Amino acid sequence: MLEHVPHWLGSLLHNVRAGHAKLVIVQDGIVPAGGAQLTLSSPAFADGARLPERFTADGAGVSPPLTWNGVPAGAVALALLVEDPDAPAPNPLVHAVVWNLPPDSAGLEEGAISADGRGAFDGSDVGRNSYQQEGWLPPDPPTGHGGHDYVFQLFALSEAAALDVSPGRSAVLEALRGRVLAAGMLSGTYSRGEPAEIGPVGAAQPA
């Protein structure tokens, strides 16, 4: 959808961004002081690197593979939230919500964040993105708006609150309070209409 925003308008809105301070993981009362750290990574991109086109609206639009470790022994569930704090909006754009993942899971396969109706066999439930749809919302930044960070946030929970089917950001935010034992973060970037560093040698090509 946002690929149709003209370059001049994207450039005009360059400094209009929700802000990283509004990410769920940094909100007061979410991650306790001294909480453990989860290691969250992807075999498809390095932390802070450009997302491969395959995972965006310019490619197949599937969710990227993820792996994690360091889940504390007392965790009973995991929650994943993916947000874009650079969206030209009052709050970060939500690209994915996955609630109640099993604590012994080690990651998600490529394309795993997809509509699942009333949930999956393992008890997890894919929630609603900012377009009010279940599943992965492929990164789709406005042309000329500059780089966008896509922040994957993983939380290990001491208990799994009962939420409605397909929860959204606000419900998950409240359910996380007082339940987070450990958290981890991974960021990928994407942009359109400007040079972008790609490949192992950092060759630039138009975004």
Comparing 131 with 144, the larger pLDDT belongs to 131
CA distances from 107 to 54, 63, 69, 124 (A): 19, 12, 8, 13
- Spatial distance between the Cα atoms of 96 and 103, rounded to a whole number of angstroms: 19
Look up the pTM and report it.
0.86
Which of 9-23, 29-43, 167-181 shows the lowest per-residue confidence on average (mean pLDDT)? 9-23
Can you list the alpha helix ranges (DSSP code H) found in the chain? Answer: 7-12, 169-176
- Cβ atoms within 10 Å of 44's Cβ, excluding its own: 15
H or E, element range at 184: strand 180-190
Condensed to tens digits (0 to 9), the pLDDT of residues 82-123 reads: 999 999 889 999 999 999 999 999 999 999 999 999 899 989
Fold for domain 2-193? Phosphatidylethanolamine-binding Protein (3.90.280)
- Spatial distance between the Cα atoms of 173 and 158, rounded to a whole number of angstroms: 15
Quote the distance between the C-alpha of residue 196 and its chain's center.
21
Q: Would you say 98 and 105 are in contact if contact means Cβ atoms under 8 Å apart?
A: no
Return the percentage of the chain with pLDDT > 70, whole number.
Answer: 86
Quick one: pLDDT band at residue 40, thresholds 50, 70, 90?
A: very high
H or E, element range at 196: strand 195-198
Q: Would you say 149 and 17 are in contact if contact means Cβ atoms under 8 Å apart?
A: no
Mean pLDDT, the chain, whole residue set: 88
Q: Would you say 141 and 191 are in contact if contact means Cβ atoms under 8 Å apart?
A: yes
Q: What is the DSSP string of 60-102?
A: T-PPPPEEEE---TT--EEEEEEEETTSSSSSPEEEEEEEEE-
Which of 12-16, 64-68, 75-79, 193-197 shows the lowest per-residue confidence on average (mean pLDDT)? 12-16
Q: CA angle at residue 11 from 6 to 13, to 5 degrees?
A: 100
DSSP code of residue 153 = E
What pLDDT score was predicted for residue 12? Answer: 41
- Spatial distance between the Cα atoms of 164 and 97, rounded to a whole number of angstroms: 13
